[in-house]
Chain A
Amino acid sequence: MGLGMRDIKRRIKSVNSTKQITKAMELVSSAKLRKAKEQMEKTKPYFNTMEETIQGILVNTNGIRHEFLTQREVKKTAYIVITADRGLCGGYNSNIIKLVNQHMKEKPNKSIIAVGSKGRDFFKKRHFDLDGEFTHLSETPSFSKAQEISRLALELYKQEMVDEVYLVYTEFITTINQKPSVKRLLPLDMSVEGGKRESKTMIAYEPSPEAVLGYLVPKYIDSMVFGALVEASTSEQAARRVAMESATDNAEEMIGSLKLKYNRARQASITQEIAEIVGGAEALK
């Protein structure tokens, strides 16, 4: 009969309390997801125009030499890795870290700028170079924090401490589908999607193209980092919601099968009792 009735009852109780917790977490993260999505909607036009403008300018500025645009020999690569501060969100954190590890294989030297404590702990434990760490911003990403991160990356790049900067974050596609992705921040990607635009307009730059680019590129990086933060935090909530939902479902299933077991055990014990009584009565005859 395996477990006794009391043991089964205890298991049911414990699974049930776990279920209550996962259910509560699911509700919390769906509320947070809604908020995060709203923020993402609001910030979207900013990135889109930013990207459009920068691309448009880059197409029209062939021949301008700028430190942010020219490739250097890659001696060291920096990764800005955006993870969550907390676990219990399915494969969200491990997927990001897996992608980073995979991407890093071909690079001779690398350093990490960790955003979120999960990623920081992982790379710290494995003795990677940590150039910076930022935690407790995955829930409410702010533009000023994003600026801090991007300024750090730009500074490292300017001082030639690193020759490439990659941004690794989780792209939000739908609530049930998020994809970890790598983007190169520096030097800027000059390959414009969809080939060159047809009409090359002459654009005036005040005071000079170089000065404008020198001003714009850091801004562009800021906005890329901020966009990634916002998207990653939305993805995190979505991942957590889905993970908690399936945890709740699993708990329910478990409770179901445990209840079945419990009832069987109960029935078996009643049957046995009756058999014993009948047997006893038979013996008395």
Chain B
Amino acid sequence: MPSKFHLQIITPTRTFLDEEIEMVVLRTTEGDLGILKNHIPLVTPLAIGKLKIMSDGTTREAAIAGGFVHVDREKTVIITDTAEWPEEIDVKRAEESKNRAESRLGKDAPEVDTIRAEIALKKAMNRLNVANKR
């Protein structure tokens, strides 16, 4: 059995996860990254994407929206704006916000904040992606 390390996932409104796990796979801004026990200390920003947590032979997934990860000797901490398990995702709301963002991007008007719309679209698609894999 692989050895375990401590992972904390913290959002502004709650502690999302706080337990011993075997491996976590993150999507960073530079690409996917897997973390096992005794990883070197590392700090890196995260992209909007999904998170895979493996322990005791099971794999759990969660949607996270940006943030960063701080790997230290004692523990690994992920600080993010929002984190959700698939069953917590409000699919309808995500779909609505996806459509909204798409229509805003499609307009090509100067008053549309393209970057914000793109981020909203990415978040919505990520949520749908994670929710549908259930």
Which residues of A pack against B, CB within 8 Å? 39, 42-43, 45-46, 49-50, 53, 56-57, 143, 201-207, 211-212, 215-216, 219, 223, 226
A45-B15, A53-B70, A201-B73 are known contacts. Are A207 and B42 too (CB-CB below 8 A)?
no
Q: Are B42 and A206 in contact (CB under 8 A)?
A: yes
Interface residues of B in 20-75 (CB under 8 A from A): 28-30, 40-45, 67-68, 70, 72-73
Q: Nearest CB to that of B46 among chain A residues?
A: A215
Q: Are B13 and A143 in contact (CB under 8 A)?
A: yes
Q: Nearest CB to that of A214 among chain B residues?
A: B45
- Secondary structure call for the B interface: strand
Question: Inside 8 A of B114's CB, which chain A residues have their CB?
Answer: none
B10 close to chain A: CB less than 8 A: yes
Q: Are A43 and B68 in contact (CB under 8 A)?
A: no
Q: Are B44 and A223 in contact (CB under 8 A)?
A: no
Q: Which of B12, B30, B79 contacts A53 (CB 8 A)?
A: B79
Which residues of B pack against A, CB within 8 Å? 8, 10-15, 28-30, 40-45, 67-68, 70, 72-73, 77, 79, 81
Q: Are B12 and A143 in contact (CB under 8 A)?
A: yes
Q: Are B41 and A43 in contact (CB under 8 A)?
A: no
Q: Which of A49, A57, A206, A216 contacts B30 (CB 8 A)?
A: A206
A-B pairs with beta carbons under 8 Å apart, 20 shown:
A43-B13, A45-B15, A46-B11, A46-B79, A49-B77, A49-B79, A56-B72, A57-B43, A143-B12, A203-B41, A204-B40, A204-B42, A206-B28, A206-B30, A206-B44, A207-B29, A207-B44, A216-B45, A219-B67, A219-B79
Task: Kindly provide the distance from the CB of B114 to the nearest chain A CB, expressed in whole angstroms.
Answer: 17
A53-B79, A143-B13 are known contacts. Are A215 and B42 too (CB-CB below 8 A)?
no
Q: Which of B43, B68, B81 contacts A203 (CB 8 A)?
A: B43
Q: Are A223 and B12 in contact (CB under 8 A)?
A: yes
Task: Kindly provide the distance from the CB of A83 to the nearest chain B CB, expressed in whole angstroms.
Answer: 22
Question: Inside 8 A of B44's CB, which chain A residues have their CB?
Answer: 205-207, 212
A49-B77, A143-B81, A216-B68 are known contacts. Are A205 and B42 too (CB-CB below 8 A)?
yes
Question: Inside 8 A of B28's CB, which chain A residues have their CB?
Answer: 206
Question: Inside 8 A of A50's CB, which chain B residues have their CB?
Answer: 79
Question: Inside 8 A of B68's CB, which chain A residues have their CB?
Answer: 212, 215-216, 219
A45-B15, A50-B79, A56-B72 are known contacts. Are A212 and B43 too (CB-CB below 8 A)?
yes
Question: Inside 8 A of A204's CB, which chain B residues have their CB?
Answer: 40-43
Q: Which of B10, B14, B45, B81 contacts A215 (CB 8 A)?
A: B45
Q: Are B42 and A49 in contact (CB under 8 A)?
A: no
Sample of 13 more A-B contacts, CB < 8 Å, known A43-B12, A56-B70: A42-B14, A43-B13, A45-B10, A49-B77, A49-B79, A201-B73, A203-B41, A204-B42, A205-B42, A207-B44, A212-B43, A215-B68, A223-B12
Q: Nearest CB to that of B14 among chain A residues?
A: A42
Q: Are B41 and A201 in contact (CB under 8 A)?
A: yes
Question: Inside 8 A of A56's CB, which chain B residues have their CB?
Answer: 70, 72
Q: With A and B bound together, what is the CA distance between A283 and B44 in angstroms?
A: 106
Question: Inside 8 A of B15's CB, which chain A residues have their CB?
Answer: 42, 45-46
Question: Inside 8 A of A49's CB, which chain B residues have their CB?
Answer: 8, 10, 77, 79
A49-B79, A201-B41 are known contacts. Are A226 and B12 too (CB-CB below 8 A)?
yes
Identify the interface centre among A202, A203, A223: most chain B CB within 10 Å of its CB.
A203
Q: With A and B bound together, what is the CA distance between A215 and B28 in angstroms?
A: 13
Question: Inside 8 A of B70's CB, which chain A residues have their CB?
Answer: 53, 56-57
Q: With A and B bound together, what is the CA distance between A56 and B41 in angstroms?
A: 11
Q: Nearest CB to that of A143 among chain B residues?
A: B12
Task: Kindly provide the distance from the CB of B129 to the nearest chain A CB, expressed in whole angstroms.
Answer: 23
Question: Inside 8 A of B12's CB, which chain A residues have their CB?
Answer: 43, 46, 143, 223, 226
Question: Inside 8 A of A215's CB, which chain B residues have their CB?
Answer: 45, 68
Q: With A and B bound together, what is the CA distance between A77 and B13 in angstroms?
A: 31
